[in-house]
Structure 1
Amino acid sequence: MLLFDRILPIVLLVAAVGALFASVVVVRQQHVAVVERFGRFNRVLRPGLNLLVPVVETAHDVSLMTQDLHLDYDAKTKDNVTIGLEVAIQYRVDQEPCADVRESGIYKSVYTLADPVGQIKDYFADALRSQIPTRDLETVFSEKDAIASAIGEDVKEKMVGYGYAIVTTLITSIKLPADVQASMNRIITTANDRVSATNEAEAAKARSVIAAQADAESMKIQGEGIAQQRIAIAEGLARSLSTIQESGLSSNEANMLLMFTQRLGMLEKFAEKGSSTLLIPEDLGSTDVMAQVMAAIEAERRDGGKA
């Protein structure tokens, strides 16, 4: 009996200390604790040191931090192409203040859904499969952000009733079947080749126009040069004929003498250029130009001797 009297106070002291420590709850930052008393909701504890009634009360931790969720879905487009979608979702417990704590996001997140992630996944699958079939493949790619925004708003309205807020929704990847991907690559390659060919054709056209303009300008200049050259030749011939006629030769003889000298000049140019081919008119001998020239020279000499 004496031993029992000594041990009992120690046991009671240990039980009291244990009960004291069991009734202390430390709630972390960005968390809250939902307190139940005999299994029924009682209150919400904020971050810091909190006390519970031992045995009577229990606390459930609730994170207020934003959660990141990555999900994969399959959907069929309007043009009957099955695509894979990777969706990134950020969500958290709704923290909008409410007059009645039982209407708050914290209360609903604990007591309305057993599997919030599974529910979010199902809602997004339903929203995606109502958006994708109304668009063809090209539109899905061009309106990816609009689709993500639309499904995010749709699921947000539904999840707020369960105490969760959808923060951000992103479609991070669109996967295509291998044959569709190959076809799209060929289409893009063909389009690029068409653009390249068009550019090359335009460049070739521009070069041709420039070259034609340059040729026309060159021919114009050459024509002007030839015309000037012919004028100069004509003037020179006129002066030569006048000079020859003053020497006493007739017009016919003067013309024949000029033709003869021109032929000699042509032969001289052939010799200077080292040409191996020489063209001689058939009537060069029949014109008897050389005889007439020599006769004219001989007549000049006789007239000079008489003088």
Structure 2
Amino acid sequence: MVSYRVQQLDVRVETKTKDNVFITAVVSVQYQVLKEKVYDAFYSLTNPAQQITAHVYDVMRSQLPTLDLDAVFEAKEELAIAVKAALSQTMENFGFQILQALITDLDPDQRVKQAMNEINSSKRLKEAIAEQAEGAKILQVKSAEAEAESKYLSGVGVAKQRRAIVDGLRGSIVDFSSGVEGTSAKDVMDLLLLSQYFDMLKDTAGDSNCKTVFIPSSKSLGDETRNALLQAEAGK
């Protein structure tokens, strides 16, 4: 009895690639008997599945060794077309029609798959490290630019502060000299220095980290304060 239904045969082929990696391929072949050649299909072959398997082995083991492993996965369609063409040319003489040939699985050795995954993982990790380093570089550059800008603005602020202090002192000296008769610029400076001295004592007393302050008393308080301020200004 001959069936006209479509039949499917799954053929497992183990072979190696051009880069000497063993791989197992599964080829699914769909075929059926031609009604006009039913006599040939019944009497020509005793085992059509075995004949199909032999042709699949022949095509796959002649094509795969010419390709590297990576190229095999990209050439599935070309391999399937080659298998179908070879089978159609042969099996039609025996009364069978090849409807489709599909490569349904490509399975290299487990260690090879693990190595390929590690290579891909290392490549992506290298790219991630490069991107991370580039990000750190950008952050460092921006931080340096921000620090430079901050120092510049701080310098501008200090300069403005000193200018304001000088302008304030000049105004105080002029006002005091014009308002109090018989005073000189030195008297006004001594008064201002004395005021700053008491402000310093107040701030020092309110500082919890300050312990003791020693001030020599061999000279006048105004001279001592003035000399201390001049020395501090010269040290800047």
TM bin (shorter chain): 0.7 to 0.9
TM-align CA RMSD: 2.9
Q: 2:23 aligns with which of 65, 83, 86?
A: 83
Query: Shift of residue 277 of structure 1?
Result: 4.3
Q: Which has the larger radius of gyration?
A: 1
Counterpart residue number, 1:129: 61
Contact 1:127 1:155 in 2 (8 A): no
Q: Distance in 2 between matches of 1:258 and 1:72?
A: 103
Unaligned runs of 5+ in 2: 226-236
| Structure 2 residue 72 is matched with structure 1 residue 140 | yes
Q: TM-score, with normalisation over the residues of structure 2? A: 0.78
Distance 1:172 1:134, change over 3 A: same
> For each residue in 1:116-150, what CA deviation from the matched residue of structure 2 results, as whole angstroms up to 9, or x when unmatched?
11111111111111211111111112323332233
Q: Distance in 1 between matches of 2:152 and 2:161?
A: 14
Contact 2:11 2:56 in 1 (8 A): no
Partner SS, residue 30 of structure 2: strand
Distance 1:175 1:261, change over 3 A: same
Q: 2:83 aligns with which of 151, 174, 193?
A: 151
Q: 1:241 aligns with which of 166, 173, 176?
A: 173
Distance 1:143 1:214, change over 3 A: farther
> For each residue in 1:153-191, what CA deviation from the matched residue of structure 2 results, as whole angstroms up to 9, or x when unmatched?
332233222222222222222222243233223212212
Q: Distance in 2 between matches of 1:279 and 1:157?
A: 110
Counterpart residue number, 1:186: 118
Q: 2:195 aligns with which of 253, 258, 261?
A: 261
Counterpart residue number, 2:185: 251
**Which structure is higher in strand share?**
1
| Structure 2 residue 103 is matched with structure 1 residue 199 | no
Q: Distance in 2 between matches of 1:168 and 1:76?
A: 24
Query: Shift of residue 203 of structure 1?
Result: 3.2
Query: Shift of residue 74 of structure 1?
Result: 0.9
| Structure 2 residue 12 is matched with structure 1 residue 64 | no
Distance 1:164 1:224, change over 3 A: farther
Distance 1:108 1:208, change over 3 A: farther
| Structure 2 residue 212 is matched with structure 1 residue 270 | no
Contact 1:257 1:289 in 2 (8 A): no
**Which structure is higher in helix share?**
2
> For each residue in 1:58-92, what CA deviation from the matched residue of structure 2 results, as whole angstroms up to 9, or x when unmatched?
xxx32222111111111111111111112222122
The residue type paired with residue 63 of structure 1 is S
Q: Distance in 1 between matches of 2:33 and 2:22?
A: 34
Aligned length: 223
Counterpart residue number, 2:157: 225
Q: Distance in 2 between matches of 1:290 and 1:213?
A: 45
Unaligned runs of 5+ in 1: 1-60, 96-103, 294-307
State the identity %. 33
Contact 2:25 2:105 in 1 (8 A): yes
Distance 1:270 1:144, change over 3 A: farther
| Structure 2 residue 30 is matched with structure 1 residue 93 | no
Partner SS, residue 274 of structure 1: coil
Q: Which runs of 4+ in 1 moved over 6 A?
A: none
Distance 1:209 1:66, change over 3 A: farther
